[in-house]
Structure 1
Amino acid sequence: MPAFRTAHASDPDWRQAAARALAALGKAPAAADCDRLGIVYATPSFGEHLPELLALLRERSGVAHWSGGIGHGVCADATEYSDESALALMVVELPRGSFRIFSGRNPAPALEGGDDRDGGPAAAALVHADPDTPELAELIADMAARTTDGFQFGAIVGTGGEPYTQVADDALSGGLSGVVFGSGVSLLSRIAQGCAPLAGEHRVSGCEAQFIQGLDGRPALDVLLDDLEVDPELRYSLDGEAILRALPAERLRGGLLVALAGEGPRRIGFDDSLVRNVVGIDPRNRLLAISGTPREGDRAVFCTRDADAARRDLVRICTELRSEFEDAGTRPRGALYHACVGRGENLFGVRGAELAIIRHNLGEIPIVGIYAGGEIARDRIHGYTGVLTLFM
């Protein structure tokens, strides 16, 4: 039986969905030198049943350790589920002692003085985070610092209102949970953005809290209106409603966003950027409000969600990953995909489009994933992205 197995099912009754998925998953003992890890992602209607679901998975599969969570949608292999009750499962065989489940009840090993079970510090972490957790961004950055190279990937789980949002050997909610991996687990990961630039790059020259005050030494609103080629007669207007009416609706069908990246050389596309919504303008003070916290010196590009750009960037990361593992003479055994709820069918127009791109470029590897309200890559929370991680 293969070391990485996946299964998925959809049914309004969680018991029926679990039974069908477990039947497809099969049951077999782990290899003598391996431990097994189960990954489970489910849609919101199964949230209240996570304790019973976990007990059933453990009993029927024989897999003791499970990690996962609730998402707006789930996916497995070539199938994407949204707006329906579904779950996706993966069972992974890894070298004995090479991973550990963590949560608030069972904290992750610290980098200094806390070794994982294979005798070294955590090399990487799969993280599931509750969106209602205070100071979440700081906790995620701290968790990344507990790994040897900041290698962290995962998603913000839960959609609001579920009594349980996470699985970490128990059903729970709040804080962070997931899996830390030792150096015996080889992983590759990339992040795909889903935006197209509207104009060129700028530098944040003034900011405070969630406000961008200046770009390239000019008022931020003036720079935005120049980039969007708004009628010159309205570019310096104090009438906010008139300015909003003058924005090019066709160019902004995918919304108005800004991609922010720290100082340093620009990388390909937006893969090093945090993409945030532009949520307001202040015509009198000529500033912009965004759904994030800019920093002076950040590189900034106004952009919009775009299916063609998202498709190209997903192909790009698949090409990079393929080149890396082929150069090393290896092949992926399985994959996890953590994507924004705004992607999938919502962006590409058809279900399974992203999975088809991944499978076309990397082969028909076992894959499960979740469509979430935020994606975790290294020490940051992203939006509108897809984080693809390969087990080698």
Structure 2
Amino acid sequence: MKLFPYAHATHPQWRMAAALVLAQLRAQMALPHHAEAPSLALLYITDHYAAHAQDILAHLSAELPEVTDWAGTVGVGVAANNVEYFDEPAMVVMLCDLSPDQYRVFSGVAPLVATGADATGFIPHTALVHAEGRTPDLAELIAEVADRTASGYVFGGLTGSRGASAQFALSSTGTMGGQGAASGVFHGGLSGVAFGTDVGLVSRVTQGAQPVDEERTITAVDGNLVLRLDDQPALDVLLDRFQLSLDDLEGTVARLRTTLVGLSDPLDVPPHRSPEPVALRVSGQFGADVRVRHIIGLDTARRGIAIAENTTAGTRMAFCERNVQAARADLTRVCAEVREELEPEERSLSLATSLAASDTEASPHPARRIAGAIYVSCSGRGGPHFGSPSAELQIVRRALGDVPLVGFFAAGEVAHHRVYGYTGVLTVFTMPA
């Protein structure tokens, strides 16, 4: 495996942006340490180009005939190493140096098999998922895709667009029988790329909100209406915590516009299969298992709080707020975790001897380096949240170094088997050092 060529460009005309991207890709493909004939491309465009999605895919695939498979989607912004393009016409492309037997592009006309290997013997270990947020039963569909992978872990994001949306999913393996020819551009549903066990991946979730209250247990709930917290009326708990009064409705509503809730599964429910350990809190911050949701209403008659997710009794909940310093610190932390995982494991002679039940256990973890990376961030993050243009991507660059990276700003981020909010999902492809 070699470094993944990647490119990014902005221009009012998509053809000019495509020409700039192609020039960058071809220049990198000619370099000795970069892939010269990759077969899989990831393509992300801002919603300014969404109406031209089919033309863009047709043009790029014709100009890069060696690339047989394409995947991607639309975002309100797109990202590359050290730069983001927010609210402007732009596109990013990364060419992945993977053997065709190591991945499968999937979509509604070429879905992943329900269990085990497909007709070619491919077994999905994990998957990059792109999804339309208005798809019915979306949470269940994402969990189903996760269940169709060996690890139970998927990553990606929801299409982000203020108008037309699109997903790219062009597969060299074709479509299901009876589906006919597919154009490679889809509207609605799920699509993406599944990766086999031979593809080295490290993935982390970084949170953008910080708890401002103790964690409580939901003890009564009706759909998305939380009725009781620790057996107390939920609305009374909220008003008491923030010293609010319904007599001052305007002030209460203004305060609640900046208040969110962080949800975690019940403690007695075993975590979904995941290659990443789940932590409830990290240094006073939310761990990767917490989903941040909006408060969308108050029920004064039932003394309840309406939140933007149907939940169940036993779920843990903490009031929280978005916090720039916490978001910066957590992004730095997950990048450091990724770097640490790529470094060789150093053991003392005595520890190595005590673990020497086998040669494999006694050997240090092999050093790896990054071939390419994908970063999916919330559309509410990015430069506007971090304080300056491209500040979020600059943090990633300082931590990971000058590595190939592309991504997009989504309407919701996918990690593990759930949809998150106000988070970033960083995934790197690794190769031997």
Structure 1 position 288, deviation (Å): 0.4
Do the aligned partners of residues 247 and 84 (structure 1) sit closer, same or farther apart at CA in structure 2, a change above 3 Å counting?
closer
Distance 2:406 2:5 in 1: 10
- The one of 154, 161, 185 equivalent to 2:156 is 154
1:168 aligned residue: 169
Residue 270 of structure 2 corresponds to none
Looking at structure 2, the residues matched to 241 and 6 of structure 1 have their Cα atoms a distance apart, in angstroms, of 56
Query: What is the TM-score when the length of structure 1 is the normalising length?
Result: 0.91
| Partner SS for 1:125 | strand
Deviations 1:190-231 (CA, angstroms, capped at 9, x unpaired): 11110121111111111111101000110111111222134x
CA shift, 1:262, in A, is: 0.7
* Counterpart in the other structure of 1:55: 58
Partner of 1:237: none
Report what 2:69 is aligned to.
Answer: 65
- The aligned counterpart of 2:318 is 301
Q: Secondary structure of 1:94's partner?
A: coil
Query: Aligned letter for 1:174?
Result: G
Q: Partner residue of 2:377?
A: 339
Describe how 1:258-277 pairs up with structure 2 within 5 A.
Answer: 258-264=261-267, 266-268=280-282, 269-270=285-286, 271-277=288-294
Q: Say whether the 8 Å CA contact 2:5–2:35 is kept in structure 1.
A: no
CA contact (8 A) 1:73 1:371 kept: yes
Q: Report the Cα distance in structure 2 between the residues aligned to 1:168 and 1:69, rounded to whole angstroms.
A: 9
- 1:321 is matched with 338
**Alpha-carbon contact 2:123-2:150 (below 8 Å) kept:** yes
Structure 1 stretches of at least 4 aligned residues deviating more than 6 Å after TM superposition: 29-32
- Which residue identity is paired with 1:36? S
Cα deviation, 1:12-70, whole Å, max 9, x if unaligned, reads: 111011111111111649969x8521011001121121111111111222312110011
Structure-2 residue corresponding to 1:353: 391
**Within 2, Cα distance between the matches of 1:108 and 1:218?**
45
| In 2, Cα distance between equivalents of 1:52 and 1:248 | 45
1:375 Cα offset (Å): 0.7
1:37-48 equivalences in 2 (<5 Å): 37-48=40-51
Alignment of 1:73-112 (within 5 A): 73-112=77-116
Q: Helix, strand or coil for the counterpart of 1:213?
A: strand
| Mapped pair 1:125 → 2:163 | no
Distance in 1 (alpha carbons) for counterparts of 2:396 and 2:60:
28
- After TM superposition, the structure 1 = structure 2 runs for residues 130-149 of structure 1, keeping only pairs within 5 Å, are 130-149=132-151
C-alpha separation in 2, matches of 1:215 and 1:312:
30
Q: Post-superposition shift, 1:387?
A: 0.5
Contact 1:203 1:300 in 2 (8 A): yes
Q: Which deviates more, 282-291 or 22-31?
A: 22-31
| SS of alignment partner, residue 312 of structure 2 | coil
Matched residue count? 377
SS of the equivalent of 2:133 reads coil
Q: 1:241 to 1:19 in 2, by over 3 A?
A: farther
State the match for 1:226 in structure 2. Answer: 240
Structure 2 partner of 1:14: 14
> What is the distance in 2 between the residues matched to 1:35 and 1:90?
10
**Structure 1: gaps of 5 or more residues:** 235-239
Shift of 1:283: 2.5
Pairwise CA distance, 1:246: 4.7
Equivalent residue for 1:363, pick from 373, 397, 401: 401
TM-score with structure 2 setting the length:
0.82
Percentage identity across paired residues of the two chains = 41
Q: What letter matches 2:243 in structure 1?
A: E
Aligned equivalents of 1:298 and 1:89: distance in 2? 40
**Paired residue secondary structure (2:111):** coil
Distance 2:389 2:328 in 1: 14
Measure, in 1, the Cα distance between the counterparts of 2:4 and 2:336. 22
Alpha-carbon separation, structure 1, partners of 2:204 and 2:248: 41
Deviation at 1:116, TM superposition (A): 7.4
Tell me the equivalent position of 2:274: none
Stretches of structure 2 that go unaligned for 5 or more consecutive residues are: 171-183, 268-278, 346-364
Distance, in Å, in 2 between the alignment partners of 1:209 and 1:129 is 24
